[in-house]
Every structure is written in structure tokens, then in C-alpha cells.
Structure 1
Amino acid sequence: MKKVLIVAPHADDETLGCGGTILKLISLGYEVHWLLVTGMSIEAGFSLSQIEKRENEIEQVSRAYGFKGIHELKLPPARLETLPLGDVIGPISNIVDMIKPEQVFTVYRNDAHSDHEIVFDAVMATTKSFRYPFIKKVIAYETMSETDFGMKPEDGGFRPNIFIDIAGTIDKKLEVLNIFESEVREFPFPRSSKALESLAYVRGAQCNAEAAEAFMLIKEIL
């Protein structure tokens, strides 16, 4: 059974970026794991009710997808830049070593959120071929409200070169998205069903599919 690791800086990034692909891979028999890098905590300034609500959302989302496992590092959200990079790399490396995935999906480095940049760099450190020879493919996904707002002058922009047809899973993806009640709002908010569905149709038009998700191939070993 082929193993896939989906790395998400925050709960909902995985759904925004590759929810339809996750559902498709699981339906094809892949063993898919969900790695959540950050998590709400009292120490990070969240209330007990917020934490309980998010834990319930994560549990519901995991069941909806059918993940083989959830791996939560619970590092402080929006504060990863305050940590030594090694404190992010180490826990991710432990999960990678334990699962030994063939494919790793991660966020795009030049997203607007600083957590995304740090997680991307950490994932690159934990997918080096000479240390993790079982990893054959590393892929970056786009995250509505972050990738589309990345305005770094030196960035050439998100340029997808992989498209995955999600016509059969787009409806379920949108259902899962709406489990994250605190993160979803009405259009024109970017984390909305309409915005996400519209992006899927645009990506579909780019690859002759009804709906698709787009990715950038970072590395592939054949």
C-alpha cells in the first residue's frame, strides 16, 4: 500500500489545498496521513472553548476523509518564526521516519502566512533523498487566502505543473470545508465554498477536466 503524508501548518490548509485529492487517493487505496504542525493551546492565547471546538472539528474532518492517522505537533500558530527552525524540523522528521511516506504534500513557500514559509523549509529538510530514500515525490499545494495573497516581489508566483481531476470529489471537499465553521465565511471571503469551487473550475479548465486541484512538483524520483 502506498503511503502519503499531507502536511498542514494549520487545520483547514489540507482541505483548501488538496481536499479533493485526499479523497481521491483514499478511494484508490492509498494510506493517507494528516500532519498538523500547529495547534491551539491556552499558552498560545486561545480559550478552552476555542480549543474544544477545534478539536471536535479535527475529529470530524478526520472521519470524513478516512485518514489512516492524525499526527498533531501542536506548535504555536502564527509564532513559528519565534522557534529555532530545528524545533520545527525535528518533530516533522520523527513523523516522516515513522510513516515512511512515498509522497509528501506541503504548502507553497511564498504564501502570505509566515507559518507556511517555515513549514515548507522544514519539510524540505525532512525530505532529503539521502536521509529519507523512501520519499519519491514532494508536491506543493495552493491555499486560498494565503497563496493568492503572497506578494513577495522576488516570487514568480504559484505556477502549477500537476493537475488532479477532482470532479468526483469536489462536492465532498466542500462539505468537509464547512466543518471548519470558524474558518469559513460567505463569498467573497476567500475561504468560502463559492471561492473554492470557482478555483476548482478554473484549474479544471486548465487541464480539460470538470474540476481540478493544481500543484507544483518540487521533486520526483523515478
Structure 2
Amino acid sequence: MKDILVVAPHADDEVLGCGGSLLKWKSEGHRLHWLLVTKVHEQVGFDTAQQEIREREINTISEFFGFETVNCLDFPSAQLDQVSDRELIAAIANVIKSVEPSDVLLPFWADAHTDHFVTFAAASACTKTFRYRHVKRVLAYETLSETDFGFYPNQTFQPNLFVDISRHLKGKLDAMGMYPSELGTHPFPRSEKSIAALATLRGTQAGTEAAEAFMIIKEREL
């Protein structure tokens, strides 16, 4: 039985990036944990009503996936690049030390959103083998509307691990439906059609009906 921690810069990244895999791993008896790095604040354009809606969405998602722990940091969304590296790394490290995950799932470093890059850099610093012996595998997931819109030269998402989510694609779509404000109609990237299409493409690459793709950052066996 593993303790698997998904690190999400924003609420919905955990569903878009690895929602189907989380459901699969949960069905196999593994323990799931969620670290949500940012929070919507009035200072970044979210009024009180919107903040309350997001809190309800987070609670609903937490129950849906059956997370053992949910840690919500209080950093403002879209402003992570203004947070000191020391402060962000310390906050993430505290969670990783508490959860002691064997697997850590991170956003891809070359995503279009700066919050994703900052999250990857800070969280990856909290997976050093000599400090965090319990971390055995670190994976980067792809996020529709971010990974596919990243334009860093020679920094494209190149998956080398595929997880069969054929039995859990519907669950992933159901979970995304719990974020109605984040969904749109095709060709909007965060649409049910787009999510299903990416799962179908990754499934084709993996030789299955539907899949999610990851890049292995590091993996070790003891």
C-alpha cells in the first residue's frame, strides 16, 4: 500500500492531470493525499461568493476522491512568483514530512502558467533522497490548457509512463464537472470533449482505451 501525494498549484489541476489515475490507485487500496498550493483571494479578483464556492468545490472533490489528508496552503493564486523560495519550500516540506508519501505527483515544469513552474521547482526540492527517504517516485503530470500551451524551446512534455484509466475516465469527467466554473464547451481546452480526447490519444499510445500520461522525474527501488 502506497501513500500518494498529488501537488496541485490550483484546484482542478489534480483532476485534469491525474484524476483517472488517482481513482484507479484508490480502487487498488492506496492512500491518496492532496496538497493544494494556492487559494483564491479577493486581492486577485475573487469576491466572497466566489471564494465560498471554491471552498465547497474543494470539499466535494476531497470527498469524491477519498483523500486521507488535504492540505491547503494560503498562497494567492497567480502570484506564486512573488513568494520567497524559502517560504514556499518550507510550507511544502512540512506537508511532505507529515504525509511521508512514496509517490509525489507534480505539475510539468514548462507549463504556461507561472504557478506551475514555481510549484514544480519548490516541490521537487522537497524530494531529495538524503532528506526524504520515503519518496521513491516523482512524476510530472500534464494539465490541459497549461502543458499544451507551454512554449519553452526544447521543453515539451514527453511522457514515459502511461496509466490505464479506461475504467475511470467517467469518474474523471464527473470530478471535473464538480468545477463548473472551470469547464467550457469545445474547443475550450478544459471541456469534457477535450479531456476525453486527450485520454483517448494517450490510450492509443499505451495500447488501451484511455490513459493518463506522466514523465518519470525519478524512481528508485530498495
Partner of 1:104: 104
Secondary structure at the aligned position of 2:202 is classed as helix
Match of 1:215, SS state, is strand
Name the CA distance, whole Å, in 2 between partners of 1:154 and 1:76.
30
CA contact (8 A) 2:6 2:33 kept: yes
Tell me the secondary structure at the aligned position of residue 214 of structure 1: strand
Give the % identical residues. Answer: 47
Tell me the secondary structure at the aligned position of residue 60 of structure 1: helix
- Provide the secondary structure at the position in 1 that maps to 2:128: coil
- Cα contact 2:41–2:77 (8 A) shared by 1: no
Aligned to 2:87: 87
Structure 2 residue identity aligned to 1:186: T
Number of the residue aligned with 1:207: 206
Q: Deviations over 1:24-50 (max 9, x none)?
A: 011101110010000012344321001
Count the aligned residue pairs: 221
Q: As a proportion of its length, which structure holds more helix? A: 2
User: Secondary structure at 2:209's aligned position in 1?
Assistant: coil
Does the residue aligned with 1:182 lie in a helix, a strand or coil? helix
Alignment deviations for residues 73-114 of structure 1 (CA, whole Å, 9 cap, x no partner): 021111011111111111100000000000000100000000
How far, CA to CA, are the matches of 1:55 and 1:104 in structure 2? 24
Whole-angstrom distance in 1 between the partners of 2:68 and 2:159: 28
Q: Using the alignment, how far apart are the partners of 2:54 and 2:178 within structure 1?
A: 10
SS of the residue corresponding to residue 175 of structure 2 reads helix
Contact 2:24–2:165 (CA under 8 A) maintained in structure 1: yes
Runs of 5+ unmatched residues, structure 1: none
Spell out the pairing of 1:113-132 with structure 2 (5 A cutoff).
Answer: 113-132=113-132
Moved more, 103-112 or 44-53: 44-53
Aligned CA RMSD, in angstroms, stands at: 0.8
Q: 1:33 — aligned with what?
A: 33
SS at match of 2:127: coil
Render the CA deviation track for 1:95-145: whole Å, top value 9, x for unaligned.
000000000001000000000000000111000000001100000000000
Letter in 1 for 2:84: P
Give the alignment of 1:1-222 within 5 angstroms: 1-155=1-155, 157-222=156-221
Hey, which bits of structure 1, 4+ residues long, moved more than 4 A? Answer: none
**Distance (whole Å) between structure 2 residues aligned to residue 76 and residue 86 of structure 1:** 16
State the shift of 1:154 in Å: 4.0
Cα distance in 1 between the residues matched to 2:43 and 2:147? 28
Contact 2:10–2:77 under 8 Å retained in 1:
yes
Give the TM-score, by structure 1 length.
Answer: 0.98
For each residue in 1:47-75, what CA deviation from the matched residue of structure 2 results, as whole angstroms up to 9, or x when unmatched?
A: 10010000011111111111111110021
Segments of 5+ residues of structure 2 without an aligned counterpart are none
| Alignment deviations for residues 192-219 of structure 1 (CA, whole Å, 9 cap, x no partner) | 1100000000000001000000000000
2:119 counterpart SS class = helix
